[in-house]
């Protein structure tokens, strides 16, 4: 099937919206809702109608404690959905850490490979993507599904994430991926606690300053579930009570999408399209006002 030209997908433009489509039974936010292929395709089409620019299809949950599906199970989950969405003219990215799944999805029409391990979980991923010639999202990654009890440590989270991403780019280029096809993801919520996430969000310009497209994925993450409940409250996350439910974090996600756009992000990866669409429209209209 035809693909979106890589150059067109990454051409500088207003911050794009990547819609999240989890074809899994156990994702933290919407596990099981779109496991049925027909429901998944309908949801993908709905996200595009609401304003998404592309749909990110994933068949493996990366929440702490999840069990990896077999390669065949992941293929069975995602390939029919990719084929169907592409058949409807919808730009699709594939969210996977497996080279075989990436190759099959691109063969089915996916235009981009989104790997939360940055090509570290599967040694064959970099060479496979290099041969496919599609954009590759490399997320900042310090290991797969780290022990939730283990405390992540950084002396300078912004500087370390920036430097580790820059080093990863060089490694990917050495393995054959064209530099202009690499997209960076700072990895919010991966080996980072809430404090790290807030500092990294404030310092996003250091990541976009590397000169490559940046994808920001904060949508519905736990650190957005402990916001102060009143404007008079201290400007620090709540420590009392339970965090809000994932689907109650869309307004906060939209705010982070606006911050990402201000920092020059190429795209934001979100579950709820309308709230982020409106936040990005506010940003564009404000920037255009004279």
Active site residues: 221, 269
CB 196 within 8 A of CB 217: no
Closest CA to 27 of 273, 269, 278, 280: 269
* 136 vs 122: CA distance, rounded Å: 14
CB 121 within 8 A of CB 163: no
How many other C-beta atoms lie within 10 A of the C-beta of residue 145? 14
CB 148 within 8 A of CB 65: yes
* 153 vs 193: CA distance, rounded Å: 9
* 187 vs 184: CA distance, rounded Å: 9
Closest CA to 167 of 134, 111, 204, 120: 120
Closest CA to 198 of 157, 161, 169, 143: 157
How many other C-beta atoms lie within 10 A of the C-beta of residue 245? 10
* 97 vs 69: CA distance, rounded Å: 11
* 21 vs 5: CA distance, rounded Å: 22
∠ CA(85), CA(88), CA(92), 5° rounding? 40
What separation, in Å, do the N-terminal and C-terminal C-alpha atoms of the chain show?
A: 44
């Amino acid at each position: 099937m035809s693909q979106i030209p890589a150059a067109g997908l990454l051409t500088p433009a207003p911050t794009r919206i990547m819609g999240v489509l989890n074809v899994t039974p156990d994702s933290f936010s919407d596990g099981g809702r779109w496991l049925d292929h027909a429901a998944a395709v309908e949801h993908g089409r709905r996200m595009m109608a609401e304003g998404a620019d592309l749909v990110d299809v994933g068949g493996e949950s990366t929440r702490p404690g999840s069990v990896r599906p077999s390669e065949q199970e992941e293929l069975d989950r995602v390939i029919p959905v990719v084929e169907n969405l592409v058949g409807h003219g919808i730009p699709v990215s594939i969210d996977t850490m497996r080279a075989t799944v990436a190759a099959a999805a691109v063969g089915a029409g996916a235009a981009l490979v989104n790997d939360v391990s940055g090509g570290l979980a599967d040694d064959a991923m970099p060479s496979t993507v290099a041969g496919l010639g599609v954009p590759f999202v490399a997320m900042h990654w310090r290991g797969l599904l780290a022990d939730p009890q283990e405390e992540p440590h950084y002396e300078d989270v912004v500087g370390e994430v920036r430097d580790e991403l820059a080093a990863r780019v060089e490694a990917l280029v050495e393995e054959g991926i064209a530099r202009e096809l690499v997209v960076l993801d700072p990895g919010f919520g991966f080996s980072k606690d809430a404090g790290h996430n807030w500092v990294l969000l404030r310092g996003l310009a250091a990541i976009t300053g590397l000169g490559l497209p940046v994808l920001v994925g904060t949508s519905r993450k736990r650190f957005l579930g402990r916001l102060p409940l009143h404007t008079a409250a201290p400007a620090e996350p709540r420590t009392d009570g339970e965090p809000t439910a994932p689907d109650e974090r869309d307004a906060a996600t939209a705010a982070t999408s606006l911050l990402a756009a201000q920092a020059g992000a190429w795209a934001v990866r979100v579950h709820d399209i309308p709230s982020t669409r409106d936040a990005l429209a506010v940003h564009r209209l404000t920037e255009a006002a004279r």
